Amino acid sequence: MTTNKKSLLFAALLVVLAMFAASCGDDDDTSAGSDDGSADDGSSDDGTADDSTADDSGDDGTGDDGGDDGAAANPGEGVSVTMARANWSTGYMQAAIYHDLMEELGYDVSDPADLELPPSNFFTALGEGDVDFWANSWYPGHAAWWDNELTDGSIVGDHVSVVGEEMLAGGLQGFLTNKSIVDDNPGITLDAINDDPDLIALYDAGDSNPGNGIVEILGCPEDWTCDDIITETIEFAGWENIAQTKAGYDAMVAEAVGRAASGTPFIIYTWTPSGYVTQLIPGDNAMWLAVEEDSVLDGSITPEFSQLVDGVAVPAAIGLDACSADPCHLGWVAADIQVSARNDFLDANPAALALFEQVQISVIDVALQNVRYDGGENAEEDVRAHPAEWIATNRATVDEWLAAARAAA
C-alpha cells in the first residue's frame, strides 16, 4: 500500500512537471490558474462575454459575506440552471466545482452527472438553449463546433460565449509511445515512423490489425473533437502509413498499458491533467512522441484546428528525458480549458458571469484529483467530495470570487 501511494505521488509529480512544460509561458500555481490566454474562443463573435447588463432574478437571502454593502447574498435565488459535463472523467472535478460555487450563490443547479455529453452534442444543445453552460471546453479545438447550424438557421456561435480563465494553456496534449523504442531510435518522430519500413513493420506487427502495413494510433472516441484533429493531422502531414483507431478511451488506455508491459509497440493520444500518465509515464515506460515542425496543423484545412501560436509551431519545453526529440513538437497547442455559456443566460445573470470570470483552477490540483479517481475514488460520492474538499482548502480565494459575483448582481 505504501509502495502504491508512493508510485501515485511520483506519477502525479511527473504530471505537474509536464504541465509547467506544456506551453509558452504558462505559469500555474495554487488556485489561480495561468493568465496569459492565447488561443481563446477561436471563431465566432463576442468571445469573452464581458457584457454585464443586468437583470438577474435573485435578490437577497442569507448567504455568507457578500462583500460590499447592498450586494445580494443569494443573487441566484429562484433561478434554475441546467449545466452539463463532458463525457471524460478528467473533467468531472471542474464541473463539480462550478456546480457547487453556483449553488453558494443561491442558484438551483442541475447535477452535471445528469447530463454528460460529448462536445459534438453539447454545443448543439447549448446553442438550442437546452443547456446553460459547462466548464469543459477545450479551445481552440472546440471552436469548430461553433459553426454547427441550429434548427432556426442560426449557428451555435451566434448564441455562445467563452468566459473566464479556468485553466489557460492547461491542456497538454500529444502522443505517447514505448520508451524502449525511443531509446533504440534517438530522435524518432511520427514522421520518421511513417517513412521507415522497418518501424512500420515493428508497430504494425503488434497492433489490433497486424500485417496490413499500417501503423495504428490509439486515438479518441467519436465526437470528442480530438479524433477529428488527429485525422486532419494525418492528412496534413501526409502520413499515408498511419491511421487512427477510434474506440472507448479507457479501453484504448488499457490496451496501451498492456502493450507497454509486454514490450509490444503502441502509439496513443493522451492529455494532461489526467491520471492516464500515471499508467503510461513519460520517462518511465513511455515517452512523448514528437512530430516534425512542418507537420503541426496550420489551420489551412480547418481554421479552428490550427495548432500554431501567433503563426508559429511552438515546441513544448520537454527534454529528451520525457520526449523522443528535441525540440519537442507535440503537434498540439496546449489547450485553454474554459467555460462555454449561453449569451442570454450570462446577460440575465451577471452574478454567474462575474463568477465565471473569476474562477481559476490549478492544473496541479486537477491532476492530483485524477490520480485519486483512477486509484479507486471514482464513485459519484467521490466526484462530489473531491471538489468540496478543494473549495474548503481554497476557501479564502473562493470567498473573494463569490464576493465579486454578489457585487455584480
List of residues 6+ apart from 87 with CB closer than 8 A = 116, 117, 118
Q: Give the residues across from 137 on adjacent strands.
A: 338
Band of residue 3 on the pLDDT scale cut at 50, 70, 90: low
Task: Give the pLDDT mean for 237-259.
Answer: 97
Reported as a single tens digit per residue, the pLDDT across 256-301 is 999 999 999 999 999 988 889 889 999 999 999 999 999 999 999 9
Does residue 323 share a domain with residue 177?
yes
Read off the CATH number of the domain in which 149 is found. Answer: 3.40.190.10
188 and 153 in a common domain: no
Q: Are residues 216 and 120 in the same domain?
A: no
Give the Å distances, CA to CA, from 85 to 43, 93, 94, 119, 183: 22, 10, 9, 9, 39
Q: Are residues 177 and 141 in the same domain?
A: no
Q: Are 187 and 311 members of one domain?
A: yes
76 and 99 share a domain?
yes
Last residue of a domain, one of 334, 368, 395: 334
Q: What is the distance between the alpha carbons of residues 33 and 131, in angstroms, rounded to a whole number? A: 26
Nine-digit cell string for 198: 522497418
* Residues 312 and 344 occupy one common structural domain: no
**pLDDT mean over 208-225:** 94
The domain that holds 307 is classified in CATH as: 3.40.190.100
- Whether residue 383 is found in the same domain as residue 368: yes
Residue 315: is the preceding peptide bond cis (ω within 30°)? no
The residue among 40 and 200 whose pLDDT is bigger is: 200
On the question of pLDDT at 14 being above 60, the answer is no
Give the integer Cα–Cα distance in Å for 15 and 20.
Answer: 9
pLDDT digits (tens, 9 = 90+) for 21-58: 444 344 444 344 333 333 333 333 333 333 333 334 33
208 and 284 within one domain: yes
Which pLDDT score is estimated for 332? 95
DSSP assignment letter at 333: P
C-alpha cell at 92: 468531472
pLDDT number for residue 72: 78
Residue 150 has pLDDT above 70, yes or no: yes
Domain count across the chain: 2
pTM to 2 decimals? 0.79
Measure the CA–CA gap between 138 and 326, rounded to whole angstroms.
26
Asked if 36 and 163 sit in the same domain, the reply is yes
Do residue 326 and residue 355 come from a single domain?
no
Do 312 and 190 belong to one domain?
Answer: yes
pLDDT for the residue numbered 59: 38
Domain boundary among the residues 283, 310, 334 is at 334
**Domain of 99, in residue numbers:** 22-170+336-408
Of the residues 275, 306, 334, which one is the last residue of a structural domain?
334
Q: What is the pLDDT of residue 51?
A: 39
Q: Over 60: is that where the pLDDT of 67 sits? A: no
Task: Report d(CA 155, CA 282) in Å as an integer.
Answer: 41
Percent of the chain clearing pLDDT 70 (strictly above): 83
For residues 210 and 215, what is the distance between their CA atoms, to the nearest angstrom?
9
